[in-house]
């Protein structure tokens, strides 16, 4: 028995979805409440979620509260729209760091808030699905920050940046910027394509880990053909995810049907 070494944690495969919207995103259905999301994830055997509303983190804590005792881990996340209209999923290791990042984002949203369209609702809710308040500012707008600025700010908040839905014809790194900018510190690319097809069409994507997330705006979207699986310690943290994306310490990631 070795002395002075930290014990090797038990690793296991965990089904994950790192891009989910709640009722705080105007484009999401009203059934995307913390209870419904966590219940659906439980039914689907998803063990790791990231809640990623547009430019807001207010509903993450409620989702984490509902997830308590279920074995499901919920990460603090946010989906950001850069100056170039590129969508980035940003994940953070703690509420404090996510809060601090959210404050920074608020400073870079347009000062002349657009109002919400008819029927659009952005609701901050409790773990009991009670509405705390309605956010009337249109949260989905481009920040006055470039993709590089956002990646840098996320790194300063000890977070991870994932380029969202890179195969979409708009709001994606590949459509808007043509190719992955050299040395952009994105931890992974979110795609629905298989690796070979993506690499053939976009050679600049070679070398980046790929993830498959739902970008769910309604409950049925959580049920997908393919999922990301992480081989990580049972007590999942963002650093476990970081290790898996880098293939360190026996941690790994794969996409499977």
Residues that bind another protein (CB under 8 A): 83-84, 146-148, 170, 174-179, 181
Shortest Å, Cβ 167 to another protein = 11
Residue 249, classified by CB atoms within 10 Å of its CB into exposed (0-12), middle (13-18) or buried (19+), is middle
Residue 237, classified by CB atoms within 10 Å of its CB into exposed (0-12), middle (13-18) or buried (19+), is middle
Nearer to another protein, 136 or 170 (CB): 170
Shortest Å, Cβ 150 to another protein = 12
Nearer to another protein, 84 or 129 (CB): 84
Nearer to another protein, 113 or 179 (CB): 179
Sheet of strand 210-211, all strands in order from the earlier edge strand to the far edge: 210-211, 188-190, 160-163, 87-92, 73-81, 48-54, 11-20, 227-233, 252-256
Tell me which DSSP letter residue 9 carries. P
Nearer to another protein, 96 or 148 (CB): 148
Shortest Å, Cβ 152 to another protein = 12
Nearer to another protein, 119 or 182 (CB): 182
Residue 31 corresponds to which tokens in the numbers above? 């059934």
Shortest Å, Cβ 142 to another protein = 11
Shortest Å, Cβ 177 to another protein = 5
Shortest Å, Cβ 82 to another protein = 9
Shortest Å, Cβ 219 to another protein = 32
β-sheet bridge partners, residue 125: 131
Nearer to another protein, 37 or 174 (CB): 174
Residue 205, φ and ψ in degrees, nearest 5: -85, -10
Nearest C-alpha neighbor of 228 from the set 49, 17, 43, 11: 17
Hey, how many other C-beta atoms are within 10 angstroms of the C-beta on 256? Answer: 10
Residue 121 corresponds to which tokens in the numbers above? 């609702």
Q: What is the DSSP string of 136-188?
A: -B---S--S--HHHHHHHHHHTT-EEEE--TTSSSSSHHHHHSSPPTT---SE
Nearer to another protein, 171 or 227 (CB): 171
β-sheet bridge partners, residue 227: 256
Using alpha carbons only, how large is the chain's radius of gyration in Å?
18
């Amino acid at each position: 028995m070795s002395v002075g070494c930290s014990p090797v944690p038990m690793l296991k495969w965990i089904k994950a979805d790192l891009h989910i919207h709640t009722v705080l995103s105007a484009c999401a259905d009203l059934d995307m409440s913390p209870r419904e999301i966590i219940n659906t994830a439980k039914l689907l055997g998803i063990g790791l979620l990231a809640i990623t509303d547009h430019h807001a983190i207010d509903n993450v804590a409620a989702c984490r509260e509902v997830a308590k005792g279920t074995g499901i881990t919920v990460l603090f996340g946010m989906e950001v729209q850069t100056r170039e209209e590129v969508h980035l999923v940003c994940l953070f290791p703690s509420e404090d760091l996510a809060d601090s990042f959210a404050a920074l984002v608020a400073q870079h949203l347009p000062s002349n808030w657009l109002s919400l369209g008819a029927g659009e609702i952005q609701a901050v809710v409790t773990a009991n699905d009670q509405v705390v308040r309605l956010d009337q500012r249109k949260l989905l707008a481009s920040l006055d920050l470039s993709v590089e600025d956002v990646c840098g700010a996320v790194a300063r908040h000890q977070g991870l940046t994932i380029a969202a839905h890179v195969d979409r014809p708009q709001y994606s790194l590949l459509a808007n910027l043509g190719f992955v900018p050299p040395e952009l510190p994105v931890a992974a690319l979110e795609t629905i394509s298989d690796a070979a097809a993506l690499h053939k069409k976009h050679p600049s994507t070679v070398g980046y880990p790929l993830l498959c997330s739902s970008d769910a705006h309604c409950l049925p979207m959580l049920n997908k053909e393919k999922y990301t699986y992480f081989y990580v310690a049972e007590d999942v943290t963002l650093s476990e995810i970081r290790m898996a994306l880098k293939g360190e310490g026996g941690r790994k990631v794969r996409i499977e049907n």
